[in-house]
Amino acid sequence: MGTVETGGGARKRRGFLDYAAIVIPGIGRVRAQKEPFARAWERENERALASGEPLWVALGDSMSQGIGAADISGGWVAQLRDRLDGVAVLNLSVTGARIGDVLTDQLPRLHDLGVRPRLVTLMVGANDMLLRKRRRGAPDEFRAVLDRLPGCDAVIATLPQGVTEAQEINAVLDREAAAGRLRVAEMRGGALGSWRGSLAEDFFHPNERGYARIAAVFEDPVRRSLREPRRQ
């Protein structure tokens, strides 16, 4: 899930992570995955765009990049993609992204590509919930993201955090799902089970086993969206 490092607060956060990486070497190893994973997805995206197959567009943060797995094939997006037929993945997620980054970077990038996706998935918000100052305005930004999604089916992950802003975002998702405008991938409560043995060596991101659980949560609503379109 990572962090977006801007401003003085980010410098403090970066210093903390640098120190933590010395104490727990696994943190540094997982942080070092950011660039190679991004490059790997760029190659996959080129193949997806050239495939001529219907596109599933993945938006979000490091969770959709698969950070923490041995390589991108172990992330939830790739694990689920490999179980689906007749769809290619265009992964526009970015490690460290927050809700506002989906709004101002990822959705404009999708628009500029000029493609019409068959499905969009979104898993974002964990980085916004880390600090109180980041949570301010997050529900409004999330609503703006939903308003700007392309006119196709969408599967959106709920937020498992118990803070007020996460609950407000989840309430919006519940209302939109009840109205038939999207489907949710339910991350609240015990949906993902115990994380014992399912975390990467930074003790923050999932490993392949953890990502398999996330893929399982997304699989049913994704399959139903591909089989029974809701949004036109």
| pLDDT tens per residue across span 90-132 | 999 999 999 999 999 999 999 999 999 999 999 999 999 998 9
Say what the pLDDT of residue 231 is.
52
Question: Over the chain (232 residues), what is each successive 10-residue block's mean pLDDT?
Answer: 36 47 70 96 98 98 97 98 97 97 98 97 96 94 98 97 97 97 95 87 92 97 90 52
Token look-up 């970066």 returns: 14
Question: Over the range 180-191, which residues count as b (16 or more CB within 10 Å of their CB) and which as e?
Answer: eebbbbbbbeee
Task: Domains for the chain: give ranges and CATH numbers.
Answer: 7-227 (3.40.50.1110)
- Contact assessment for residue 121 and residue 184, using Cβ atoms and an 8 Å cutoff: no
Dihedral sign from CA coordinates of 127, 8, 21, 69: positive
- Contact assessment for residue 167 and residue 178, using Cβ atoms and an 8 Å cutoff: no
